[in-house]
Amino acid sequence: MLKKFLPNEHVKSVFDITPSHLKAKGIKGIVTDLDNTLVAWDQPEATPEIIEWFQLMKDNDIDVTIISNNNEKRVTWFSEPLDIPFIHSARKPLGQAFRKAQKQMGLKKDEMVVVGDQLLTDVLGGNRASLYTILVVPIVQTDGFFTRFNRQVERRLLNFFRRKGMISWEERG
């Protein structure tokens, strides 16, 4: 059961996720979290670097869909100016939003990757949906109210995985 919380990969940021790396794995689509994955949770708009990263994916025929547990206003405000498909109020780690994104993207499970900064929502949800998962270091060390609780649980899980030799990366953030 605990292995459902273990990502397939861990990187410092989404900028470490490149089209060549994804294509080598047969990946054609990214399902990504928004807050603390793409931008800080309290930053309403995309940074120039994130806009460039989205364009790089698009130029390489890699579809991106944002799946966020945040509300419609927040996710729409970020996604619509970029013309990026999104699912708000996703209720991750439940599987419905992941299935909806897969259907919208028209991809097989082995052609998709889930990218996010939380074990309890992004990684668990992606793993439960049988998708490849990549955990990123949170952009900022502050979090919204509910995420603070998740981070405490995550630290315990990461320490357990480290003690058991199941992960090899350095402590996040």
pLDDT at 145: 63
Has residue 120 been placed in a domain?
yes
Count of domains observed in the chain? 1
Residue 62: which domain range? 2-163
- Model confidence at 169, pLDDT cuts 50, 70, 90, reads low
Position 71 in a domain: yes
Is residue 23 domain-resident? yes
- Residues 36, 13: contact at Cβ < 8 Å? no
Q: Does a structural domain hold residue 172?
A: no
Q: DSSP state, 159? A: H
The answer to whether the beta carbons of residues 66 and 32 sit under 8 Å apart is yes
Q: Please check whether residue 168 lies inside any domain of the structure.
A: no
Query: What is the pTM (predicted TM-score) of this model?
Result: 0.89
pLDDT for the residue numbered 173: 42
Q: pLDDT of 60-119, one tens digit each?
A: 999 999 999 999 999 999 999 999 999 999 999 999 999 999 999 999 999 999 999 999
CATH number of the domain at 155, please.
Answer: 3.40.50.1000
Is residue 67 within 8 Å of residue 87, measured between CB atoms? yes
| 19 falls within a domain | yes
Structural domain contains residue 170: no
- Is 12 within a domain? yes
